[in-house]
Amino acid sequence: MRFKKYLSYTAGSVLFLLTACTSGPTFYSDSYLAGVGEKQFSQMKAQIPISNDAHFINQLERVARPIARQVSHRLPNANWEFIVFDTDDLNAFAMPGGKVGVFRGLLELMESDDELAAVIGHEVAHVLLDHSNERMSAEALRGIGGIIATVGTKNMERDDRAKVMTAYAVGTQLGIMLPYSRYQETDADREGLILAAKAGFDPRAAITFWQKMKAASHSNTPEFLSTHPSHGKRIEKLRQMMPEAMRIYMVTKPQEPKM
């Protein structure tokens, strides 16, 4: 059918642009993204309760500051800010510009600074690797592909045109955008282990943390419908990444006091 030609062309164009370089296309400046991050973070602080629990606040500062120092030469303009949000969510994030948020529910799951370092390392790695820029740029490319499909099908029958647009939306989401996002998650896991190890935290805690997350998860969403790898696959890949991180940790880990 004729609509298959348009679908193949537009989706193929987006896929080519996303895979043209290993890091993905980036269209936005660091200053623009930092401004967006600042605005979004301010909105979150205004809308979500902020914890005043000294234990959690001190733990976050104690873990996040050393990790931030590891990337200071690559993110020299970051204005680091670490906030504990007082909700039960099992979540954390980092935004361009150095804005980091961790939710109380996630901190309550932690048993050590090392586990928290695995999470903070991962989130800071997203910023370091410019993943927000890549995601926004990829969505822009996807939008351009949608415009191409809209223009290219303007003379088609309405039913065929609807099929093209639906297939494009679903196909690019499942076939391009979600796998692209899962690749970024794996990339951030790898870089996050290294950052945690360089900051003196035991990277093996990443495995124990994700085992807890797997036990706490109630989601039955298939991996191909998710932005993140499955917990089991993530743990498997972390084990594969561990030797490199452990070599760094054995050099940087705090030394035991001599008797």
β-bridge mates for residue 85, sequence order: 50, 103
Q: Which residue has the tokens 């030394």?
A: 255
Domain membership flag for residue 92:
yes
Distant-in-sequence contacts of 145-152, Cβ < 8 A, 24+ apart = 145/10, 145/11, 145/13, 145/14, 145/172, 146/10, 148/9, 148/10, 148/13, 149/6, 149/7, 149/10, 152/6, 152/9, 152/10
Q: 32 in a domain, yes or no?
A: yes
Residue 209 in domain: yes
Please, are residues 228 and 185 in contact by the beta-carbon 8 Å criterion?
A: yes
Structure letter (DSSP) for residue 174: I
Q: Give the model's pLDDT for residue 169.
A: 64
Closest of 137, 125, 95, 102 to residue 188, by C-alpha:
125
Whether residue 258 is contained in a domain is answered as no
| Tens of pLDDT, residues 204-226 | 999 999 998 888 876 554 433 34
Write down the pLDDT at residue 62.
97
Per the structure, the count of domains in the chain is 1
Helix (H, G, I), strand (E, B) or coil at 82: strand
Q: Is 240 a domain residue?
A: yes
**Active-site annotation holder among 81, 108, 123, 139:** 123
- Residue 257 domain flag: no
| C-beta of residue 127 within 8 angstroms of C-beta of residue 96 | yes
d(CA 36, CA 42): 10
Residue 123 annotated in active site: yes
Q: Are strands 81-85 and 99-103 parallel, antiparallel or unpaired?
A: parallel
For residue 259, being part of any structural domain is answered with no
pLDDT higher than threshold 60 for residue 15: no
pTM above 0.75, yes or no: no
End-to-end CA distance of the chain: 79
The domain in which residue 128 lies consists of 2-252
pLDDT (average), residues 142-154: 61
Q: How many CA atoms lie within 13 A of 147 on its CB side?
A: 6
CA 219 to chain centre: 19
Q: What is the dihedral of CA 63, 64, 70, 71, to 10 degrees?
A: 170
Element (H, E) at 173: none
Segment 85-143, tens digit of pLDDT: 999 998 899 988 999 999 999 999 999 999 999 999 999 998 998 877 777 666 655 66
Q: Is residue 235 one of the residues assigned to a domain?
A: yes
